[in-house]
Structure 1
């Protein structure tokens, strides 16, 4: 099985460090520097980096962007910069435009402290009031931002002084900063520009990032130019950044391998295997959990746990891996990998076709034959995964599957409103709190499965606030056992938060779930 030749550091140390209740600072995250750039010398100014992302944004408003490898992390980091990042060796928080984000009361409140003198490209201040404006609006369900999953935890906020914002959480969460990093809460836009309306903002988005918008041709390219007033001079090193959206895996790889692009966000184990064979540099962020074929337990047929269990028992994950990833994918056998402080030998799934058929027959005899639609995102691998499961279930009686391909924006909206039977989602663990609480707690707006199980909720709440390592491990072991019993979906592959890039690209640094920082990158001829 393929193992990428340039892994970023292992998750075991990361999870252990996440037990700290307060954030810690640092100037640089040297351990996430690109190995390809280690012998390249000092950064060189100039050049245009041509990048590829997987999802076209519906707007340049931070609320419409997502800070994970499968969405728009390069674009968001370029336009808005970052308040903070995490160190992928330890998961310690390291500060950028912020200088502190700490709690002294077990996660009930946090004080965000900003660098003094930060300004947006329109000259207005990036101060505590600007952060409050951005974070308050992300809590509005009408805005439709995926960041609401984290922003909704903020019950109130108060501007203490121009550089300090105090937030109170609806319930204590000492691990709140880790989850914030994966969302657009980390990207602050000019309130004055946002108040002009969506159309005007998309023409001229205003942030304080290393780049600003030059031109956006929807469906083609987003061209950005260096912000000469970026707070962290002499960064950025690049003069320009071009971002294109390419959903097809083969097309992305062909563009990198033939020199048509310089850096591509990647999610495909198959593509990473091809890059490895071709000697093309790649970085993969290790993580636990993975991608899940989520079943909507809030409506038929998956409101009956027997239907969910039947699908899980019927699925042949090795065959699916062969079809979707050419056998190069990694199937998550347990929720946490061996070596993690939270590892428990609790298998996520077993295959038992005979029992699966018995359950399908039992449900049909009660007038509840399993019939559902698999809503697929418009990517090659998600369509292949949906069609592979559809083909496998065709060998069983009393089960019917349809596949519906839906564009990113519509699929995201429908997932958020639970208007689906089955869809591909994820619970990818660095620190376990954000991924598991968000995906499976009954009070979470990001709980697409619709599960609301008291025992699981209690375990996730206990893991969130536990002060000792043993107490936290015990809570997450209970959560793992309960998730196996409840069968929220089919865990079919580990995630591959990755980038591939040309050999003349250096300074590739990532944080959280595969979010590269364009201000760090530079190029040689």
Structure 2
């Protein structure tokens, strides 16, 4: 899950409304991923032109400038958010990908990985790599390199964000340079989705061993670009990998600059004016505003959303009544009006409304009922436990606005006190994601697939369970969904998970999870995966 919030900083989900320029079309994907909006709204220098340039080959040369809402914590795949739009495009530039999720279908697509197939029973899988791929330092990208990277994810000292994901892997065995045998801790019919979402960025073992501490700021991979420089808080620069495995024609641009522009309005205006070529965003209003300015827009809607996370092992939210009281006191529609100017997509579920993973109408949060909220607060106060907590948020203006609405709504009730604690993004990530040192926190998360996303974020023993939530019914159904090939059984399992989440109230999700890429008409070859990753080997500028 991703905690970097954008609105206007990182990272806020959003939605579209009818706009006067161009059009945006939502397509529901009948697969485990999400839906893709193939919206086309012209370019920053020509208004109103519908276009989808994903199949248009760019010209060679030039500098592609990408506006990003936040800087990265690390450029190695252990300390980066590899399954989040905030980091994955930059990681893809340096490392490329083993596999990726196609947004139109939710299918796992090959890249450096050639195939990933299960043995009967789904307890072991065989990974095949394309032959003769090399890292930019000239060393082989082989099965040994994949094993090395995955072993590092599993090492406790590494504190990898993917520690919960890799826990599903019991052992790996190098069969030959292009073949890795993977034995799982238990059957998993969807392990290929896990790899595509969370384990696709592979490091050069030689470069990593030379300088493990420095690798995070001097990464070496097999991607279309090589790392050149990083000015913290300002920009990263990558240059064309002249030894790229796809040949001299790729990548298309000579240089890619990822420019940090935290303010959403400034980011949009920078793209519109030509100071940047594109931006990937989760701001609710960006699709509308970008369309009005004639920018071309692509949007992916996935599992997750903007939420309040409750630390279920720490007072006061170790008591389910406290969590339910907050659910019942707040209104997702009011948040949408106040924080998103009515342009967002309020929700009552972590699943999109059209999701094939759950029964229609399935909700994961409790609807507004302030009278019942007050009864719960009074009950807690009568036991000497009036609700008093700190609400941690990322440090930006729109997060502050949403938090102030939440604080005002809660303070309108008796026996409750809440303080807002704005934090810089890096400190926020450290406290909530790494140390789990919080009572309640604003948290945005984007899951390209239920597997492994829901498993690693909700399973009781997962190190990525930032809620510290534990429920045996949820565990049992997550196991069932992981092991079955039957869509009906998977749907029943996730519907049961949703029902338990609604009852236990470990998080309050109020805004849908939407990732948008908008760009000028000079950008072509735009392919967006269903977790918001731009495929950097395909994008470039018009010839």
- The answer on whether the counterparts of 1:33 and 1:507 sit within 8 Å (CA) in structure 2 is no
Root mean square deviation of aligned Cα: 2.5
* 8 A contact 2:54–2:527 mirrored in 1: no
CA offset digits 1:289-328 (Å, max 9, x no partner): 4222111111110011000000000012222112221111
Give the TM-score taking structure 1 as reference length: 0.91
| Change over 3 Å in CA distance of 1:72–1:12 after alignment to 2 | same
Structure 2 counterpart of 1:472, from 472, 478, 490: 490
2:30 is the alignment partner of 1:12: yes
Alignment partner, residue 344 of structure 1: 360
Q: Are residue 182 (structure 1) and residue 168 (structure 2) matched?
A: no
Query: 2:184 matched to 1:166?
Result: no
Is 1:395 the counterpart of 2:409 in the alignment? Answer: no
Does the CA contact (< 8 Å) of 1:427 and 1:439 recur in 2?
no
Distance 2:332 2:75 in 1: 38
Cα distance in 2, alignment partners of residues 8 and 77 from structure 1? 26
Contact 2:456 2:463 in 1 (8 A): yes
Secondary structure in 1 aligned to 2:366? coil
For these two proteins, the number of residue pairs brought into alignment is: 512
Q: Secondary structure at the match of 1:160?
A: strand
Instruction: Name structure 2 gaps, 5 residues minimum.
Output: 1-14, 42-49
Maintained 8 Å contact 1:211/1:227: yes
One of 444, 453, 456 as aligned partner of 1:435: 453
Aligned residue runs from structure 1 range 42-121, under 5 A: 42-121=57-136
CA contact (8 A) 1:86 1:93 kept: yes
Instruction: Report the CA distance between 1:62 and its aligned residue.
Output: 2.2
Distance between the aligned counterparts of 1:174 and 1:399, measured in 2?
46
| Structure 2 match to 1:487 | 505
Partner of 1:193: helix, strand, or coil? helix
Residue in 2 that maps onto 1:20: none
Q: Indicate conservation of the 8 Å contact 2:189/2:485, yes or no.
A: no
Q: Tell me, yes or no, if the aligned pair for 1:33 and 1:508 is still in contact at 8 Å.
A: no
Bigger shift: residues 237-246 or 382-391: 382-391
Equivalent of 2:476 in 441, 458, 472 = 458
Q: Which structure ranks higher in relative contact order (CA pairs < 8 Å, sequence separation ≥ 6)?
A: 2
Determine whether 1:251 maps to 2:259.
no
Matched residue, 1:232: 246
> How far is the alpha carbon of 1:196 from its aligned partner?
2.2
Does 2:316 match 1:298? no
1:24-43 to 2 correspondence within 5 Å?
A: 36-38=51-53, 42-43=57-58
Aligned to 2:344: 329
1:169 CA drift (Å): 1.6
Matched residue SS, 2:335: helix
Deviates more, 1:112-121 or 1:51-60: 51-60
| Structure 1 residues 225 and 428, CA gap change in structure 2 (3 angstroms) | closer
Aligned with 1:182: secondary structure?
helix
Measure how far apart 1:364 and its partner are: 1.0
Q: Structure 2 CA distance, aligned partners of 1:314 and 1:151?
A: 38
Deviations 1:16-69 (CA, angstroms, capped at 9, x unpaired): 99xxxxxxxxxxx9x999973549954311111001222312332222222345
Q: Tell me which of 393, 403, 418 is aligned to 1:376.
A: 393
Distance change (3 Å), C-alpha of 1:9 and 1:201 = same
Alpha-carbon separation, structure 2, partners of 1:385 and 1:166: 48
Match of 1:298, SS state, is: coil
Instruction: Assess if the C-alpha contact under 8 Å between 1:54 and 1:245 holds in 2.
Output: yes
Compared CA separation, residues 339 and 492, structure 1 to 2 (3 A): closer
Q: Is the 8 A contact 1:324 1:385 kept in 2?
A: yes
SS at match of 2:78: helix
Query: Any stretches of 5+ residues in structure 1 without a counterpart?
Result: 18-28
Query: Matched residues in 1 for 2:414 and 2:116: separation?
Result: 55
- Is 1:409 the counterpart of 2:426? The answer is yes
Q: Flag as ranges the 4+ runs of structure 1 deviating above 6 A.
A: 31-35
